[in-house]
Amino acid sequence: MVNNSTSNLDDVFSALSDPTRRAILERLFHGEMTVSTLAEPFDMSMPAISKHLRVLENAGVVTQRKLGRNRYYSVNPVAMKQASEWLNRWSHFWKSQFANLDRFLRGDDPTTK
């Protein structure tokens, strides 16, 4: 059985797997923006941008609020924190692996003596 937290992480990483969605997210790190402002640098239709935003929103990565006829999007820091914490768990593993590689390359690896 998959718990809700794992399922949410799957959604977040799936949403972040697309380069356009990552670029949209990069723009949103500078602050809240309307759909039209977000779409400016992209060579794609507004419906395509809206589809990417819907994927990000469904994954919980961004939130939106409506003011008049405009929709404003912003980063949801909770979802990004969960993803960051999951990735950071691997930090110890990789640091250890790189330290072992460094010792091996310097000839300090006790398994080679």
Number of domains in the chain: 1
**CA–CA distance, 112 with 60 (Å, rounded to integer):** 49
CATH number at residue 88: 1.10.10.10
- Measured CA to CA, the distance from residue 32 to residue 24 in angstroms comes to 11
Mean pLDDT, residues 45-50: 94
Strand (E) or helix (H) holding 45:
none
Q: Give residue-wise pLDDT tens across range 58-96.
A: 999 999 999 999 999 999 998 888 888 888 888 888 888
pTM equals 0.75
Domain hosting 45: range is 4-112
SS3 letters across 13-81:
HHHHCCHHHHHHHHHHCCCCEEHHHHHCCCCCCHHHHHHHHHHHHHCCCEEEEEECCEEEEEECHHHHH
User: How large is the average pLDDT for residues 37-65?
Assistant: 95
